[in-house]
Structure 1
Amino acid sequence: MDTYRHKGLRKKLVELLKEKGITDEQVLEAINSIPRHLFLDNAFVNFAYQDKAFPIGAGQTISQPFTVAFQTQLLELERGDKVLEIGTGSAYQTCVLLEMKAKVFSIERQKLLFQRAKVLLPKMGYSAKLFFGDGYKGQPAFAPFDKIIITAGAPFIPEDLKKQLKVGGIMVIPVGEGESQVMQRLRKIGETEFEYEEFGDFKFVPLLQDKSFSN
């Protein structure tokens, strides 16, 4: 349920994000529209509109709203963009992309989170193509993508994802193996040519890679 109180708290959150440097009005509007408390366990509902990350089960977190807004802003989304999201997680970021009228293909390797997202999104009136699998491999069957967003810390930029980005497309990915990662934006300017930009340090759960999946 989305109450007047929740809506008021969201407005305050949007003001805070503006103060922190988020300028994309579409991103701010999406965050103002989406009831973030519905993505959290009941224990955290009262804190849903603080600019903090919270546990969502399976050793994962829902990213803090500033991180979601920052990554989304870097994507330079346009209506109808085909977006590959690596790490569905709570599906909050997925909903921000959908609210901005992107076509979303999202991959999650934790079975519990994948199943939750499959139930939650239709309940909230959203529709995305959800996949259970290894994010490092992307979704070649649906490539190329206009934009790719990775919502977990990657030790390196997966080659498969670079191949699945269309020329002229943008990828946003936190890269690094330590406590924090550096937010990078890649622009694909030729079949094997990329421009790289860096946007400071962030903390993400790691993007896992192996042959087994978590049930």
Structure 2
Amino acid sequence: MKDTFRHQGLRQQLVNVLKNKGITNNAVLAAVAKIPRHLFMDSSFLDHAYQDKAFPIAADQTISQPYTVAFQSELMQIKPGHKVLEIGTGSGYQTAVLCELGAKVYSIERQNELFKKTSKFLPKLGYRPKKLIFGDGYIGLKTEAPFDSIIVTAGAPFVPRPLLSQLKIGGRLIIPVGDDVQIMTLFIRKGPKEFEQEEFGEFRFVPLLEDKN
């Protein structure tokens, strides 16, 4: 697992691209500059690792576009020590960004192949989420709630109620909602049953899978 000066230079170029697209959070930019994204991808995609594009990974899933990762991370407004739930561990790249931001990360993955791979891989890079769970993201993680923020990294046809209920008062849910194209949506919990909602335009994600068993 090599991380060369060339890779570091390419990451810095990627950071500049993200700045030009409007990402301003220095902690998020520093995480992108530090994390070796090429190690989260198959070797055949190494040359593409620092382009601002999504790419295929195992189990018909993708590693999200760096801009999307940075955009969602910035919306979360993470402070060190925040308790964060991630729905869709995937390659673990977004998980690593959350760890770099100082969050206590709980992450759920529906694809067993990805869950096994990422569970072994993240600690090798020095990233140790509080918990990685193989399970259904639609139901969240009630046993560890409430969370300071929840991030959904796949397209949800609707907003799962359990995720809203597992936010702290003042907590933030960032979720792409829709079928073919998703609208990035932020919910801020203002009270027991009161939520503020804001939309941030169109994004494209793979679908959020339900547990059919």
Alignment-derived partner of residue 113 in structure 1: 114
Deviation (angstroms), 1:23: 0.5
Q: Among residues 174, 177, 180, which one is paired with 1:175 in the alignment? A: 177
Q: What letter matches 2:88 in structure 1?
A: G
Mapped partners of 1:117, 1:57: distance in 2: 11
TM-score normalized with structure 1 length: 0.97
Verify: 1:58 aligned to 2:56, yes or no.
Answer: no
Q: What letter matches 2:115 in structure 1?
A: F
Cα offsets for 1:70-97 (capped at 9, x unmatched): 0000101111100000000000000000
Alignment-derived partner of residue 206 in structure 2: 205
Deviation (angstroms), 1:46: 1.2
Alignment-derived partner of residue 146 in structure 2: 144
Q: What letter matches 1:28 in structure 2?
A: L
Does structure 1 conserve the Cα–Cα contact (< 8 Å) formed by 2:110 and 2:211? no
SS of residue matched to 2:207: coil
Q: What letter matches 2:47 in structure 1?
A: N
Q: Give the aligned length.
A: 211
Does structure 1 conserve the Cα–Cα contact (< 8 Å) formed by 2:156 and 2:177? yes
Give the gaps of 5 or more residues in structure 2: none
Verify: 1:11 aligned to 2:7, yes or no.
Answer: no
Q: What letter matches 2:212 in structure 1?
A: K
SS of residue matched to 2:148: strand
Verify: 1:41 aligned to 2:45, yes or no.
Answer: no
Q: How big is the alpha-carbon RMSD for the aligned residues of Structure 1 and Structure 2?
A: 0.6
Q: What letter matches 2:60 in structure 1?
A: G
TM-score normalized with structure 2 length: 0.98
Deviation (angstroms), 1:123: 0.1
Mapped partners of 2:60, 2:6: distance in 1: 30
Q: What letter matches 2:106 in structure 1?
A: F
Q: What letter matches 1:78 in structure 2?
A: K
Percent same amino acid among aligned pairs? 61
Report runs of 4+ in structure 1 exceeding 2 Å deviation.
none
Alignment-derived partner of residue 186 in structure 2: 185
SS of residue matched to 2:13: helix
Deviation (angstroms), 1:211: 2.4
Alignment-derived partner of residue 81 in structure 1: 82
Mapped partners of 2:24, 2:9: distance in 1: 20
Deviation (angstroms), 1:209: 1.4
